[in-house]
Amino acid sequence: MRASFQNRFAPWLMAGLPLLFLMLMLIAPVGRLLLEGAWSKPGDAASLWLAPWQDPYLRWRMLWSALQAAFTCGVVLVVGVPIAWVLARFEFRGRSWVLRALMLPFVVPTLVAAMGVLVLFGPQGWVVQWGGPSLGDTPYLLLYGNVFFNLCVLVRAATEGLEQVSASRMAAARTLGATPWRAFWRVEWPALLPWLMSALCLVFLYCFSGFGLALVLGGQHYATVEVEIYTLVAHELQLAQAGVLALWVLLFTGGLAWTYAWVESRLAGPVRADRIARRRPQTASQWLALAAALVVLVFLCLAPLVAIVMRAAQTGAAGWAVLLNPDTLDAVWNTVRFSASALVLATLLGLVHALAAQRVIWLRTLVFLPFVVSPILVAFGLLLLYPRWTASAPLLIAAYALLAYPFVAKSVAAGLDAMPPHLLAAAKILGANPWRVFWRITFPLLLPALRRGMAFAAATAVGEFAVTLFLSRPEWATLSTLIYEHLGRPGATHHDAALVLSCVLMALALAVFMAIERPSLRSRTDGETYA
C-alpha cells in the first residue's frame, strides 16, 4: 500500500517544484502579458487586436520576421543536407572534432556572433576594407548571422538522421537496381525527412523569435518583431501595443512549437542496429565533396569567431586596456555570479523535472515552454506582473534559470531514456532500496548527461542578453549588456572595447562549457554510452 502510494504520488510531489517555478516565472507572466494585449482598452479591444496588421510598419515587421526565418530555413536546408551527408557517410581524420565544433554556435553568445558578423561584413568590416561591398543596412547581415547560428542545428540533426538509415534497406534498394542517387531519394531522404522537419521547425522558431542578432544586425529596416516589442516597451512605453504584438508572436510560435513536438513524437522509434558503415573517401570527387563541406562549414560557422579574435588582437594595448576598467571588472563579476547562481537553480530544477517527467509524460512537453516563449516576452511579462521586483537580483537569477534549465532537463531526460531499465532492476534485486538505486546506479550513469545539460545551461546564462536588458539595474551590467552599451556609443575606442569584451565573453562561455562538459566527453570515450 505504502509502495503504491509512493509510486503514484512521488512523481507529482517531485513535479511540484518545476511546475510552481514555471507557473510563477512563465505561465503567470505570459498570462499577464495576454491581458495587457487583449483587454487593456475594453472598448477598443478588436481594433487594438488587429492593429499590427493594419499598420504598414508593424505589418512589415511581422512579415519580415517570418520572411527572414523562412529564408534562413531554405539556406540551411540546401547547404546543410549535403554537408550532413558527407559527415554521416565518410570517415576521416578529425571527424569527431568537426562534429564537436558543430556545438560551437550553441555555446557562443548571441552578441559575440553579431560582433563577428559586423567585423566581417559590417560598414568597417574586413570585406569593405578589402574593396568589397558593405552589407550594412542590408538584410544580408542578419541572414548571415542566422545561418551562422542555425546551420549547425540542421547539420547535426541531419547527420544523426542519416546515421539511422538502415544499411540493409539501402542494400536492398541497390540490389533492386537503384543507383546511389536514386537510393538517396527513395530510401535515405524519406528516412531523413522527419529529422529535417524537426530541425527546420527549430530554426524557424529561433530566427522568428531571435532578439540579439536582429537588434544589432537588423538596423532600422530589418529588425524583427521581438526588437519592435523591446522598443515599444523600453523606449516608447507603449505597453498595450507591445502586448498585442506579443500575443501574435505567441500564437505563431505556439503553433510552430506544436508542429515541432508533433514531428519529434514521430521520431521516437527504435534506433537502427544496422547502420551504414562510414568509409574513407576513395575517389577524387569524394575527397572534393569532403573538402567543400569543410570549407563551407568553416566559412559559415567559424569565420565570424576567428574574425573577432583577430580584429581584437589588432586593437593593441589601448584596446585591451578596457579590461582594467572598473566597469569591465564589475561586468565580469556580475556575469559570473548571476550565471553561477542561475546554474545551481537550473540544475536542481532540470534534474527534478526530468525525473518527474519519467512517470508523468506530459511534463516533457512543458519543458519546451521556455524555448517557445522568447526571452523578450518572458522579461516583458515579468516586468508587468512583478513591477516591484523588476530590479531585484532573485528575479533576474530566476529568469536566467528559466532560460537555462530546459537544457538540463532535456539532457537528463534523454540520459534516463537511454538507461537500460534492467540495470535498475538488477540493483533492486541485489537489495538496493529506491534511494540507493538512484544514488549508486541512476546518478552515476546520468552524470555525463547532467554535465552536458549543465554545460549548455551555463553557456546560455553567461551569454544571456535579452532578459538582462529588461530586468537589470545599471550597476548590474553583465558582459553582454556592456558590449551592447559600447556598440551604441560612437567612436573607434568604444568599438574596440566591444571587440575585446566580445573576446572575453566568448572565452568565458567556452571555458565554462569545456570545464563542465569535458569530463563527460572523457567518460564517453571510455566506453560510457548512457549520456
Q: Among 408, 413, 406, which Cα is nearest to 455's?
A: 408
Residue 530 binds another protein (CB under 8 A): yes
Q: Which is nearer to another protein, 182 or 440 (CB)?
A: 440
* DSSP state, residue 55: S
Given 169, 186, 428, 524, the residue binding another protein (CB under 8 A):
428
**Three cell numbers written together for 41:** 482598452
Stretch that binds another protein, among 46-54, 308-316, 405-413, 434-442 (CB under 8 A): 434-442
Given 182, 266, 279, 440, the residue binding another protein (CB under 8 A):
440
Given 323, 423, 510, 521, the residue binding another protein (CB under 8 A):
423
Residue 270 binds another protein (CB under 8 A): no
Give the residue carrying C-alpha cell 516533457. Answer: 364
Residue 436 binds another protein (CB under 8 A): yes
Report in angstroms the alpha-carbon separations of 419 from 28, 38, 358, 424: 35, 46, 12, 9
How far apart CA 320 and CA 277 sit, in angstroms, is: 49
Residue 431 binds another protein (CB under 8 A): yes
Tell me if residue 509 falls in helix, strand or coil: helix
Q: Which is nearer to another protein, 89 or 452 (CB)?
A: 452
Residue 519 binds another protein (CB under 8 A): no
* DSSP state, residue 23: I
Q: Which is nearer to another protein, 178 or 418 (CB)?
A: 418
Q: Which is nearer to another protein, 94 or 420 (CB)?
A: 420
Stretch that binds another protein, among 95-103, 246-254, 440-448, 459-467 (CB under 8 A): 440-448
Q: Among 479, 473, 474, which Cα is nearest to 336's?
A: 479
Residue 405 binds another protein (CB under 8 A): no
Residue 445 binds another protein (CB under 8 A): yes
Give the shortest CB-363-to-another protein separation in angstroms.
Answer: 19
Cα-Cα-Cα-Cα dihedral of 153, 154, 156, 160, to 10°?
140
Report in angstroms the alpha-carbon separations of 289 from 156, 167, 186, 278, 336: 18, 22, 22, 15, 43
How far apart CA 190 and CA 405 sit, in angstroms, is: 34
Stretch that binds another protein, among 9-17, 50-58, 221-229, 427-435 (CB under 8 A): 427-435
Give the residue carrying C-alpha cell 523535472. Answer: 353
Q: Which is nearer to another protein, 50 or 430 (CB)?
A: 430
Tell me if residue 279 falls in helix, strand or coil: strand
Give the shortest CB-116-to-another protein separation in angstroms.
Answer: 40
Q: Which is nearer to another protein, 234 or 432 (CB)?
A: 432
Number of shown-chain residues binding another protein (CB under 8 A) = 24
In the chain, helix, strand, coil percent, each to 5? Answer: 80, 0, 20
Q: Which is nearer to another protein, 268 or 317 (CB)?
A: 268
Give the shortest CB-273-to-another protein separation in angstroms.
Answer: 14
Q: How many angstroms separate the first and last alpha carbons of the chain?
A: 35
Strand segments, DSSP code E, in 390-469 are none
Report in angstroms the alpha-carbon separations of 311 from 122, 261, 306, 316: 13, 41, 8, 10
Give the shortest CB-427-to-another protein separation in angstroms.
Answer: 7
Ramachandran angles phi, psi of 361, nearest 5°: -60, -40
Given 131, 181, 422, 491, the residue binding another protein (CB under 8 A):
422
Report the residue count for the chain. 531
Q: Which is nearer to another protein, 3 or 324 (CB)?
A: 3
Given 316, 420, 488, 519, the residue binding another protein (CB under 8 A):
420
Q: Which is nearer to another protein, 38 or 423 (CB)?
A: 423
Residues in the site for another protein, rule: CB under 8 A? 1, 3, 420, 422-423, 425-433, 436, 440-441, 444-445, 526-530
